[in-house]
């Protein structure tokens, strides 16, 4: 019989959420940064402000619809999008004012209002999947965005000639002060896709001259990576998991660019 209980599961989930929320004060309002993210990867934030004695407004200050606009999509531009937007707002009892998702409540109900506005922001942002032109970012594109944020100079799809004469295109050439580094990203969509990617990457690193920093960054958010797969890659490169090893990966990057 399972040792897990409902109370333990709920407690663990709430503990995880609590660790990943953060706040910042800005003049007369408090910003709540949630662990939830928009389709482009940015974290969902809401603002809480006491608008009059005993009443607060929880709002995204227009960020959700602005994110959709940046992706070239406006749900209000089509009948279906407008209908779904209205249904989301009614379900979460949230209003749209001047492009902002807003909910006004007594101070004692701010916690519930935050949850409803955050959930509405997520639901509205996912309407972008109605757009035929929307294409989710690839893992390599997410990593490129991360490198830009940390002001790392890099070259995408860097060509390298292996000892066998085979030509490879490595995801990133990292520009260092004294010498460069190489970074390959792996993001299989299923467990069945892990082995072919690992084998190809093992051959890549085995064939390319190894005097430089070489790292394999694996996407550990949706696929389970077996220890033997990681050990194989660790024999030819440094290996970092995107979710679990982000801090170690960042330190390694900083060491390369500061050389």
- Token digits for 76? 């209000």
Cβ atoms of residues 80 and 68 within 8 Å: no
Q: For the chain, give me the number of helices (H) and strands (E)?
A: 8, 11
SS3 45: strand
pLDDT (average), residues 118-142:
82
pTM score, whole prediction:
0.54
Beta strand segments in the chain, E: 22-26, 29-37, 43-52, 55-59, 95-97, 100-106, 154-161, 167-174, 181-186, 213-218, 238-241
Q: Summarize pLDDT for 193-203 with one digit per residue, the tens.
A: 888 899 999 99
List the domains of the chain with CATH numbers: 6-130 (no CATH), 139-257 (3.40.1350.10)
The tokens 């749900």 sit on which residue?
75
Inter-residue contact 238 to 214 (CB < 8 Å): yes
Quick one: pLDDT at residue 134? 59
**Given this model, what pLDDT does residue 107 score?**
94
pLDDT band, residue 183 (cuts 50/70/90)? very high
Measured between alpha carbons, how far is 80 from 171 in angstroms, rounded to an integer?
39
The tens digit of pLDDT for each residue in 61-100 reads 999 998 888 777 888 888 888 999 999 999 999 999 999 9
- When pLDDT is cut at 50, 70 and 90, the band that residue 135 belongs to is low
Q: Reading across the β-sheet that carries 55-59, which strands appear in turn? A: 22-26, 29-37, 43-52, 55-59, 100-106, 95-97
Tens of pLDDT, residue by residue over 211-221, are 889 999 999 88
pLDDT at residue 51 above 90?
yes
Q: What is the model's pLDDT at position 2?
A: 62
pLDDT-derived band at 250 (thresholds 50, 70, 90) equals: very high
Q: Do 131 and 146 contact (CB within 8 A), yes or no? A: no
């Amino acid at each position: 019989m399972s040792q897990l209980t409902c109370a333990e599961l709920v407690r663990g989930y709430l503990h995880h959420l609590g660790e990943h929320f953060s706040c910042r004060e800005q003049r007369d309002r408090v910003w709540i940064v949630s662990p939830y993210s928009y389709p482009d990867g940015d974290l969902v934030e809401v603002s809480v402000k006491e608008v009059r004695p005993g009443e607060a407004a929880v709002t995204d200050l227009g960020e959700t619809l602005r994110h959709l606009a940046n992706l070239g999509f406006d749900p209000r531009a089509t009948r279906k999008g407008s209908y779904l937007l209205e249904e989301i707002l009614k379900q979460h009892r949230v209003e749209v004012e001047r492009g902002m998702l807003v909910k006004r409540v007594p101070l004692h109900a701010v916690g519930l209002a935050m949850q409803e506005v955050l959930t509405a922001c997520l639901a509205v942002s996912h309407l972008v999947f109605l757009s035929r032109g929307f294409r989710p970012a690839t893992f390599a594109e997410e990593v490129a965005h991360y490198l830009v944020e940390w002001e790392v100079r890099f070259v995408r799809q860097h060509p390298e000639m292996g000892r066998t004469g085979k030509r490879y295109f490595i995801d990133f050439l990292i520009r260092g002060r004294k010498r460069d580094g190489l970074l390959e990203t792996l993001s299989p969509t299923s467990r069945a896709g892990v082995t072919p990617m690992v084998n190809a990457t093992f051959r890549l690193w085995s064939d390319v001259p190894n005097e430089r920093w070489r790292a394999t960054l694996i996407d550990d958010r949706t696929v389970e990576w077996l220890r033997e797969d990681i050990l194989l890659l660790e024999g030819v490169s440094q290996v970092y998991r995107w979710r679990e090893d982000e801090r170690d990966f960042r330190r390694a990057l900083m060491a390369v660019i500061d050389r």
